[in-house]
C-alpha cells in the first residue's frame, strides 16, 4: 500500500527566502506525482505534474524534482512571497488508467512579510 509523507507539517519563513518542501513515498513504482496548493476553505490547485520518466518540472518560481529510486520529491520555491502562504500537498499516482491519487497530509507554509 502506497504511503506518502510530507515533512515538516508546518513551516514559517521570512519573505524573500528560498525554501524546499519534502515529500517521500514508500512504493517507487509510481506513474506520476503532483504538487498542489490549498488555500483555507478552498479546493486544490495543481502546481506541477511530474511523470515517472521525468526528473523535474518548473513553473515560474517553482521547481519540483523527482527521484523515484529513493522515493522522494522536493518542491523548491524561490524568493517566497506572502501570497505563497498555503498548505502544499503532494500526491502520487500508482498505475495507469485511473486518477486514484494517494496524498500526503501536507506542509502548511507561512511566509512572514
Partner 1 sequence: KAGVTQTPRYLIKTRGQQVTLSCSPISGHRSVSWYQQTPGQGLQFLFEYFSETQRNKGNFPGRFSGRQFSNSRSEMNVSTLELGDSALYLCASSLGARGDSPLHFGNGTRLTVT
Given the rule CB under 8 A, which residues bind partner 1? 31-32, 34, 36, 41-46, 49, 51, 89, 91, 93, 95-106
**Could you tell me if 73 and 103 are in contact, meaning their C-beta atoms sit under 8 angstroms apart?**
no
Minimum distance, C-beta of residue 14 to partner 1, in the bound complex (Å): 28
Instruction: State the DSSP code for 9.
Output: S
Q: Which is nearer to partner 1, 39 or 67 (CB)?
A: 39
Residue 54 CA to its chain's centroid (Å): 15
Task: Write 63-66 long-range contacts (CB < 8 A, 24+).
Answer: 64/33, 64/35, 66/33
Q: Which is nearer to partner 1, 60 or 99 (CB)?
A: 99
Q: Which is nearer to partner 1, 1 or 113 (CB)?
A: 1
Amino acid at each position: 500500500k502506497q504511503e506518502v509523507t510530507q515533512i515538516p507539517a508546518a513551516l514559517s519563513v521570512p519573505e524573500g527566502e528560498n525554501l524546499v518542501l519534502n515529500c517521500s513515498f514508500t512504493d517507487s513504482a509510481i506513474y506520476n506525482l503532483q504538487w498542489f496548493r490549498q488555500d483555507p476553505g478552498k479546493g486544490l490547485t495543481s502546481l506541477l505534474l511530474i511523470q515517472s520518466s521525468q526528473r523535474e518540472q518548473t513553473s515560474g518560481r517553482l521547481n519540483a524534482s523527482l527521484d523515484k529510486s529513493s522515493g522522494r520529491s522536493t518542491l523548491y520555491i524561490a524568493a517566497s512571497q506572502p501570497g505563497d502562504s498555503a498548505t502544499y500537498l503532494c500526491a502520487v499516482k500508482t498505475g495507469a488508467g485511473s486518477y486514484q491519487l494517494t496524498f500526503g497530509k501536507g506542509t502548511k507554509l507561512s511566509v512572514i512579510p
